[in-house]
Structure 1
Amino acid sequence: MPEPQTNASPRPGGRVFLALIRDTKPRMGQLAAALAMSILTTLASLLIPLLTKTIIDQGSLTSLKPSQMAMVVGAFVLQAVGGAVSVYLLNRLGQQLVASLRERLWSKLLALPVSYYDEHETGETISRMTNDTAVVKNLITEHLSGFVTGIISIIGSISILFYMDWKMTLVLLVVVPFAALVLMPLGRQMYRVSVGLQKETAGFTSVLSRVLSEIRLVKSSNAEPVEHTNGRSGIDTLFRYGLKEARIQALIMPVMALVITSLMVLVIGYGGWRVSTGTLSAGKLAAFLLYLFQIVIPFGQLTQFFTQWQKAVGATQTILETLQADGEDRTAGRAVRNAHQPIAVDRVSFSYGEEPVLKEVSFTMQPGKVTAIVGPSGSGKTTLFSLMERFYTPKGGEIRLGEDPVKDYSLESWRSRIGYVSQESPLVSGTIRDNLCYGLGREVPDGELEKAARMAYADGFIREFPDGYETEVGERGIKLSGGQRQRLAIARALLRNPDILMLDEATSSLDSQSEQYVQQALANLMKGRTTLVIAHRLSTVIDADQIVFLDKGVVTGIGTHAELYRTHDMYRQFADHQLRMPGDREQGQERGQEPAHEHKLERDAGSVRVSVPAPGRVRNAGS
Structure 2
Amino acid sequence: MGNILSCESRTPAQGPVKVEIHSTKANSNVQHAQAAYTEGIFTGGSFAASLALAWLHPHAASALLAALNSGAVVYGTVKRGHKTHHVLIGSGSVLVYAAGTSLVFPPALRLGALGGLALAAPSVTAWVAVRPFLKEQFQSSGVFHVFSEPTVPLSEQLKHFRRIVGWAADDSLIWVGAYATLIAGAITSSAMPWAFTKLVETVTVPGTQMRKPILQLTAAVILGACISSVQSILFAEGATRMSVRVQKDVMSNVMKQETQFFESTQPGEILTQMGASASLVKVVQGLIPTAIRAVVSTATTVIILCQYDVRLAMICVVAVPFEVLSSYAYSQYFQKYNEKVQSINVKSGAIVTEMVTSVKTVRMFAAEKEQLARFWKSVDELIKLRRANNWVLAGSGLVDVLLPHLASMMMFLYASHLASVGRINAASLLTVSMYQGSLTSAFQKIMSIWVNWGSMLGQTRKVFELMDRLPDQIPRGSYVPEKPLEGGITFRNVTFAYASSPQPILRDFNLTVRPGELVAIVGHSGGGKSTCVNLILGLYDAQEGSVEIDGIPVHRFDPKYFYSKAVSVVSQEPILFSNSFTENITLGMTDVPQEKIEAAAQQAFAHDFIMKTKDGYDTQVGSRGERLSGGQRQRIAIARALIRDPSVLLLDEATSALDGESEAFVQSAIEELMKGRTVVVVAHRLSTIQRADRIIVLDKGVIVQEGTHAELVQTSGVYKEMVKRQLNSEDVEMLEATAGSPGHMGQSNADSG
Give the alignment's TM-score, normalised by structure 1.
Answer: 0.88
* Corresponding letter in the other structure for 1:18: R
Select 2:728's aligned residue among 568, 581, 590. 581
Note the C-alpha offset of 1:511: 0.8
State the distance in 1 between where 2:202 and 2:548 align. Answer: 94
Match of 1:442 among 557, 581, 591: 591
Deviation, 1:245, is 4.5
Q: Distance in 2 between matches of 1:426 and 1:517?
A: 19
Q: Which moved more, 1:56-65 or 1:543-552?
A: 56-65
Aligned-partner Cα distance in 1 for 2:526–2:312? 82
The answer to whether the 8 Å contact 1:271/1:285 transfers is yes
Structure 1 residue 517, shift from structure 2 partner:
0.8
Matched AA of 1:461: F
- Structure 2 distance, partners of 1:583, 1:595, is 14
Q: Which of these residues, 410, 413, 420, is aligned with residue 569 of structure 2?
A: 420
CA deviation after TM superposition for structure 1 residue 308, in Å: 2.5
2:605 to 457, 470, 491: 457
The 8 Å contact of residues 235 and 285 in structure 2, kept in 1 or not, is answered as yes
CA-CA distance at 1:338 after TM superposition: 2.9
- Alignment match, 1:232: 376
Tell whether 2:708 aligns with 1:560. Answer: yes
1:130 lines up with 2:275 in the alignment? yes
Aligned to 1:605: none
Deviation track 1:509-552 (CA, whole Å, cap 9, x = no partner) reads 11111111111111111111110111122231111000111111
Match of 1:188 among 318, 332, 339: 332
Change (3 A) 1:8 1:489: closer
Q: CA RMSD in A?
A: 3.1
Kindly report which structure 2 residues correspond to 1:160-559, keeping only aligned pairs within 5 A, or say none: 160-169=304-313, 183-259=327-403, 262=406, 271-272=415-416, 275=419, 278-314=422-458, 317-327=461-471, 332-335=478-481, 337-353=483-499, 354-416=502-564, 417-445=566-594, 447-559=595-707
Partner of 2:69: none
Which residue, 153, 156, 172 being the options, matches 1:12?
156
Seen in structure 2, the aligned counterparts of structure 1 residues 64 and 232 have a Cα distance that, compared at 3 Å, is farther
Q: How big is each residue's C-alpha offset from its partner over 1:61-85, in whole Å with a ceiling of 9 and x where there is no partner?
A: 9736776445423432332222232
SS of the aligned residue for 2:713 comes to helix
Q: 1:487, 1:518 within 8 Å by CA — same for their partners in 2?
A: yes
Offset at 1:5? 2.0
Tell me how far apart the structure 2 counterparts of residues 444 and 600 of structure 1 sit (CA, whole Å).
44
Q: What is the deviation of 1:272? A: 4.9
Query: Per-residue displacement from partner, 1:58-109 (whole Å, max 9, x unpaired)?
Result: 4359736776445423432332222232233223222222221222222222
> Is the contact between residue 568 and residue 644 of structure 2 (CA under 8 Å) also seen in structure 1?
yes
Report the CA distance shift for 1:242/1:529 in structure 2 as closer, same or farther (over 3 A).
same
Deviations 1:111-148 (CA, angstroms, capped at 9, x unpaired): 222122123222222222221x2111122212221111
The secondary structure found in structure 2 opposite 1:490 is helix
Retained in 2: the 8 A contact 1:334–1:408? no
* 2:84 corresponds to 1:84: no
Letter in 2 for 1:613: A
Secondary structure of 1:222's aligned partner: coil
Deviation at 1:357, TM superposition (A): 0.7
Distance 1:315 1:411, change over 3 A: same
- Cα 1:200–1:334, aligned 2, differ >3 Å: closer, same or farther? same
Matched AA of 2:498: Y
Identify the residue that residue 166 of structure 2 maps to in structure 1: 22
Distance 1:540 1:601 in 2: 13
3-state secondary structure, aligned to 1:426:
coil
* Structure 2: runs of 5+ lacking an equivalent: 1-141
List runs of 5+ in structure 1 lacking aligned partners.
603-609, 619-623
Q: What amino acid does structure 2 have at the position aligned with 1:381?
A: K
Select between 402-411 and 556-565 the one with higher mean Cα deviation.
402-411
Equivalent pair of 2:331/2:454 in contact (CA under 8 Å): no
Separation in 1, partners of 2:376, 2:709: 54
CA distance, structure 1, for counterparts of residue 557 and residue 482 of structure 2: 6
Q: Which SS does the other structure have where 2:483 is aligned? A: coil
Instruction: Confirm or deny: 8 A CA contact 2:167 2:242 kept in the other structure.
Output: no
Match of 1:112 in 2: 257
1:363 counterpart SS class: strand
Taking the aligned partners of 1:365 and 1:344, their CA distance within structure 2 comes to 6
Q: 1:383 to 1:41 in 2, by over 3 A?
A: same
CA shift for structure 1 position 599? 12
Question: In structure 2, what is the Cα distance between the partners aligned to 1:567 and 1:174?
Answer: 94
SS at match of 1:555: strand
Bigger shift: residues 462-471 or 137-146: 462-471
Task: Say if 1:543 and 1:601, in contact at 8 Å, map to a contact too.
Answer: no
Total equivalences in the alignment: 603
Q: How far apart are the structure 2 equivalents of 1:263 and 1:69?
A: 32
Does the 8 A contact of 2:517 with 2:679 survive in 1?
Answer: yes
Superposition TM-score, scaled by structure 2 size? 0.74
Do the aligned partners of 1:369 and 1:528 also contact (CA within 8 Å) in 2?
no
For residues 556-579 of structure 1, the C-alpha deviation after alignment (integer angstroms, 9 at most, x for no partner) is 11111122223351111111111x
The structural deviation recorded for 1:503 is 0.5
Contact conserved, 1:490 with 1:522, CA < 8 A, in 2? yes
Structure 1 window deviating more from structure 2 (325-334 vs 222-231): it is 325-334
> In 2, Cα distance between the equivalents of 1:191 and 1:337?
57
Matches of 1:80 and 1:528, distance apart in 2:
74
1:340: Cα distance to partner? 1.6
> Which protein has the larger Cα radius of gyration, Structure 1 or Structure 2?
2
One-letter code aligned to 1:485? R
Distance change in 2, residues 1:532/1:303 (3 Å): same
Cα deviation, residue 375, structure 1: 0.4
Q: Which one is further off, 560-569 or 481-490?
A: 560-569
2:222 and 2:344 map into 1 onto residues whose CA distance is 45
Q: Is the 8 A contact 1:340 1:367 kept in 2?
A: yes
Distance in structure 2 (CA, Å) of the matches to 1:29 and 1:601: 76
Match for 1:383: what amino acid? T
- Cα deviation, residue 196, structure 1: 1.8
Q: In 2, are the aligned partners of 1:370 and 1:532 still within 8 Å (CA)?
A: yes
Structure 1 CA distance for aligned equivalents of residues 288 and 743 of structure 2: 71
- Residue by residue, what CA displacement relative to the aligned partner does 1:192-219 show, whole Å, maximum 9, x if unpaired? 2222222222332222223322222322
Query: Does residue 96 in structure 1 map to residue 241 in structure 2?
Result: yes
Q: What percent identity do the matched residue pairs reach?
A: 26
Label 1:330 to 1:380 Cα distance change in 2 as closer, same or farther (>3 A). Answer: same
Mapped to 1, the partners of 2:505 and 2:666 lie a distance apart of 31
Aligned AA (1:431): S
Q: Counterpart of 2:697 in 1: which secondary structure?
A: strand
**CA contact under 8 A between 2:687 and 2:750: conserved in structure 1?**
no
Higher relative contact order (CA 8 A, sep 6+): 1
Q: Distance in 1 between matches of 2:168 and 2:491?
A: 43
Give the counterpart of 2:290 among 146, 168, 176.
146
Cα deviation for residue 276 of structure 1 reads 5.2
Letter in 2 for 1:581: N
Asked if structure 2 preserves the Cα contact closer than 8 Å seen for 1:123 and 1:202, the reply is yes
Displacement of 1:398 after TM fit?
A: 1.7
Q: CA contact under 8 A between 2:598 and 2:607: conserved in structure 1?
A: yes
